[in-house]
Structures are given as C-alpha cells and as structure tokens.
A and B are shown apart, each in its own frame.
Chain A
C-alpha cells in the first residue's frame, strides 16, 4: 500500500447526504472478479446520461472541465452508506481520488478506504461547504493541501484541522499492510484460541469432516 503523507489536489464537491456505495459503483459495473477495471464505472448513474453507452453527463462535477484531475472529494453526512462492497473504494482509487472529506462515514466504507490507502477525513459540514465555495471561485487554481502529518487542510483562509483516528493516521502514513502486522502477533492469537477452545469446546468444529 502506498503511504499517504501530504496530498495536494483539485477538489470535486458532491455535497449530498447519504451518498451510498450503489451510487459510487452500481452493481452492474462490477463485471469481473477483480479489483481492477472499476474506475470507468465510478458514479456511473450520475456521470453518464446513458451508462451503457458511456455518454457523459456534462453537468456532473467530475465531468466539468474546470474540475479535471480532481483527487479530493467533498461529501455530505453518512458518506459511503449502504452495501459493504469494497468495489466502491477500488473505483474511487482507480479514478484517482486520494482523500474524501465528509462530516461522517459509514463504518465499513471508512475501513475499506483505509485498507486501500485512501484518507476518509471528518470535517464539520459548514467547514466543508466553505472549502467548496472557495474552490468554486477557481477550481483549478484553488487546490487543497491535505497534510496527514499534522491533520490539517490548507487552502483559502486559515488551515483547518480534520479528524482521523490515531491508528488510521499511522496506518495511512506508513502504508502498513494489515496481515503482515497481525502476523507478528500469531503466537498471541494461538494462545487465545487454545484457551477459547478449552473453555468452550463447542466453538471448535471438526476439521475436514463432511467437506
């Protein structure tokens, strides 16, 4: 996983509440058993007037020429609600989104972001609206700088502090792989499991039986 320390980029505001993962990647866009090939399907129902023919909707923010190259999304409350599909994050990632700023996130979507090196940063809605208004004035020129080392966003006026948990911050900064991290705790897990099976033998199912 690529570490994320400082990211500067063009901003795309999508200031709607409850942007769900069906909207981020419609189920019909999940056509292959793969993490790849999803960027084109990102926001397909909004981004295209005809999703099958891929006819772009010129009004959708990610199709606006002045938002070209956007890598920071501004969203509304309860961002990423709905289905747990990690395809939504893979689609955002492939499109080039690195940071999402929203008042709050769905818990599974939030974890999927961090697992893929995308920063889901919490910021009160009024502050998000202010940032959006600032980028509206000059979308290509008014880029935001998101500094995960200091948990601050610069752009416009005074830097704004955003909220991200300490553990998520470190994981993103270092680009840590979860499995490798947990592998270092294998002995502790084995001991816990031994105790659990001893105390509650019914928890353990027979190996290889009826399989």
Chain B
C-alpha cells in the first residue's frame, strides 16, 4: 500500500503500539534549551534516574541568554542566569554535549540542530520547544514536547504518543517576486486558522515547496507550530541532502534516504491546495498569526469580538491601509527567520539605505555560524549602516522574559512567529512579516513591501 512520508518516518520509529492506540516511538536525538530542559535534567538528577543514551542528547543555550555583545551568564530576564547554570550542571552531570554561551557553534536550538547534523533525514528528534517542527524540513521526524515528556525520552529513549492524523498542503505555482516562505505560511494560517491543522502531521508539497531551498523549507515548517500541527515534514530533495551531509555529525556516507517521500497515491486524512502565484508579501494586523493580510491591503472590518479586541490592543482602525501604519521598531531574528538567507534578503533591501529616524532596529543572527557567515559577506556593516544593532545569537526579543522590550505601546515589525498580546513585552504591538518586509519597513518608518522602495 502506498505510504506517506510521515507514515514511513513513523513506522520506522514505532517500537510497538498498545491496544489503546498509543505507540512507543524510538527517539534518535534529543535537544533541549535552558528554559524547559533545565527542569527536566534537574528532576532526573534528584530522582537518581540516568539518561539512557547521553551521546544522543544535546543542550543549547538560547532562550534567556543575553544577546548584547560581551554577554556572559548574566541575563536581563529575572532569574535567567539560574536556567543557564542548571542546564550546564545537568549537562555536566549526565555527560551531554552542550553548546554553551561562549561556544563557537552556539545558536538557536533548531538552527544548531540543523547546522550540526543533530537532525538528519530519516532520524527522529524531540526538543521541549514548540518550533521543533522546523526540522521536518530536512525529512526528520521532529516533535516539540513538554518537560515531563522530555524526562520520559531521556530515561527511556522513547516517546509515548498516539499517531496523529495526516494532512497534505499542496502549494502549486511559483511564488511571486518579494513573496517568501514566511508569506506563504502566514497566508495559509490566515486562510485556515491557527487551529487549521487540527493536530495533524502536515506534509508540505507542490511546485512552490519543491523550488524552496533548505532554509525556506525550515521557515515554512517552523510556522506549522502556528497552524495547530503535530509536526511538519517535507520530502528532502537533492539540494537538502547535499546541505545536510556537510554537517559535523552527519555520516560520511548514506544510502537509505531516497525513500523519504510520499508514494504516489499515498492517502492523507485531509488535503488542501494553495496557489503560490496568488500570494504576495503578508503582514499580521492582530494578535494571532491568523489575523494577517497582504501588506497592500487595509485593516479589515472587525466583525468578531476577537477582532475588535485585537484591533483595540493593536491601536488600529478598520480601513487603514496597512502600508501607512508607522512603526517604532524592527526586529530581524528568531528560529523562523534568522538564517543566512534571511539576513541576505533583509540586507538586499537595506543596502545603501539609511534606516528611518526614530526606528529602533535590531538584528539577531540565529547562530554563531550564521553570524560568522554574515560577517564574512559584510552583511553586518549593511545592517549597522541602516541603523540596526548587530547582536550575538539567541531567541532575544522574540518574546519578553522580563528583560528587554521595545516598550509599552511601541509598534514592532518582526520576523518572528507570534504576535500574541504582550508576547514581546507589556503593551508591545507586534506585526509579523518576512525579512524583506521588515527591512523595507525599517527604511520607510512604516509598514512597507520591499518593492515600495
């Protein structure tokens, strides 16, 4: 019987399934960060429970670590230092490889997993972070989990879960100029809602996806967390396979990755189709990623209580052209859009253009590797000349942990993934967009598409 990519990945990791339909999945790799991993390691230490396969477990500092130059263990988030220290102590106690604050390969967990070859096609990986689905872009079976589940995986090398439904999102046609994987993801979530996937494992397919490079695929899979998906997968093509074998932990030779695609005639519980050609640059106008519209559209009429509440929080009036809305800040960063391709896309827009006066602009490369590559190309100068701060890698201002914020009432255009109320700080108004839109907005001082320049 023809199988889907997700079915194949699931079956190859399924140890057994009980009468209630709950499976034990074998977990090949575990990655954790200081925010949610520290508690799990601390708990196992207290209980005297060993980590079953420490050589397959990795720790990364990203969530509350400072991103200002010259940083150390001290954080601006209250108590943040304790999370870093606890992760370090747990890693030392269990003999886990740690990408610490000063490690030359430190970065945002999901970027490090891809860069290092911790995540590889055909492997299963878990991380106590909702955006672990990013790694499905490599043909990896990737699940975001909770801290209790992490303890279970560390202790037993397995994850206990029922097999989710499957959903295929076929995106035909070609994305237009200035439209990116981020715009596609926002459009999809806008069309079907943040619960659109209904807990299914989503496969992205179709011409537009086939044409995407590894990084764009990661952006698309990343946003599946905002689509209510259990995870996301994309069949790896030659280019993806070539990009992963260069990683330090990748095997020298592999021969069993060619079957990592859905068979012709594979069945999915749900299928939806999108036309990429119809999708242009998007921006969110509300406090949920599903509240989004084309940059050149107007703020929609508030027909629901939720929309009225969102518009009140965002300080927007229905009918206002989105590309007339002035911004106070611009942020390029996060596991969604802080890879080298994202920085290049923003830099292309910024090059030779001064940033708008009064706009606080920050660029946080996703990893030390990305930062080094960007500096080798001179991208750091482009950002700095356009008025951006150039930071050390981490999650930074994607969320407010009690430390840095843009300030109450400030309007931020951001390459991140969540525009929830207060996500980036008390009273902060977040607009999600692609790196190109964020860069164009930083130049114009208002929400703008790259072709407006």
Chain A residues at the B interface, C-beta cutoff of 8 Å: 16-18, 20, 22-23, 26-28, 30-35, 45, 51, 77-78, 81-87, 89, 104, 106-108, 110-112, 115-116, 165-167, 170, 178-179, 181-183, 185-186, 188-189, 192-193, 196, 200, 202-203, 205-211
Q: Per a CB cutoff under 8 Å, which of B144, B306, B422 touches A108?
A: B144
Please encode chain B, from 14 to 28, with 1 for each CB lying within 8 Å of some chain A CB and 0 for all others: 011010111010101
A178 B148 Cβ-Cβ under 8 A: yes
| Contacting pair B402 A116 (CB below 8 A) | no
Residue positions of B touching A, CB distance < 8 A? 15-16, 18, 20-22, 24, 26, 28, 35-36, 38-39, 42, 49, 54-56, 77-79, 82-83, 86, 95-97, 122-123, 128-130, 144-149, 151-152, 155-158, 160-162, 164, 193-195, 198-199, 226, 228, 230, 249, 251, 253-254, 256, 288, 290, 306, 399-402, 418, 420-423, 426
18 A-B pairs with CB atoms under 8 Å apart are A23-B422, A33-B38, A33-B42, A33-B86, A77-B195, A82-B420, A84-B129, A104-B195, A104-B199, A106-B228, A107-B199, A108-B146, A170-B20, A178-B152, A181-B160, A185-B16, A192-B15, A208-B95
Instruction: Give bound CA distance, A211 to B249, whole Å.
Output: 13
Q: Which residue in chain A gives the minimum CB-CB distance to B395?
A: A27
Task: Say whether B15 contacts A78, CB under 8 Å.
Answer: no
B231 to chain A, nearest CB (A): 9
B402 lies within 8 A of A27 (CB): yes
Contact A45 B426 (CB under 8 A): yes
* B421:A23 contact, CB within 8 angstroms: yes
- Considering the chains assembled together, what is the distance between the CA atoms of A107 and B198 in angstroms? 9
Contact A185 to B195, CB < 8 A, known contacts A45-B426, A111-B145, A179-B152? no
Known contacts: A82-B418, A165-B20. The answer to whether A208 contacts B55 by CB under 8 A is yes
Q: A45-B426, A200-B256 are in contact. Are A81 and B194 (CB under 8 A)?
A: yes
Query: Which chain B residue lies CB-closest to A113?
Result: B146
A28 near B20: Cβ-Cβ < 8 Å = no
A95, chain B: closest CB distance, angstroms: 18
Cβ-closest chain A residue relative to B254: A202
Q: Write the nearest CB–CB distance from A120 to chain B, whole angstroms.
A: 12
**Which of chain B's residues has its CB closest to A110's CB?**
B199
Going nearest first, the 9 A-B pairs with the smallest beta carbon separation are A28-B402, A202-B251, A78-B195, A167-B20, A115-B148, A31-B79, A112-B146, A86-B146, A84-B130
Bound: A36/B88 CA distance, A: 21
Partner of A22, one of B160, B162, B423: B423
Docked CA distance A112–B155 (Å): 17
Q: Are B401 and A28 in contact (CB under 8 A)?
A: yes
CA distance A9 to B18 in the complex (A): 33
B35 and A85 within 8 A (CB): yes
**Least Cβ distance of A114 to chain B in Å?**
9
Flag if B423 contacts A18 (CB, 8 Å): no
Cα distance, A89 to B195, chains bound together (Å): 20
Given contacts A81-B194, A211-B95, contact A182 B152 (CB under 8 A): yes
A182 touches B24 (CB 8 A): yes
Whether B422 contacts A22 by the Cβ 8 Å rule is: yes
Give Cα distance in the complex from A33 to B80, angstroms: 9
- Tell whether, in the assembled complex, residue A179 and residue B155 are in contact, meaning their CB atoms are under 8 Å apart: yes
List A contacts of B290 (CB < 8 A): 18
Q: Residues of B contacting A81 with CB < 8 Å? A: 194-195, 226, 228
- Which A residues are CB-close (under 8 A) to B226? 81
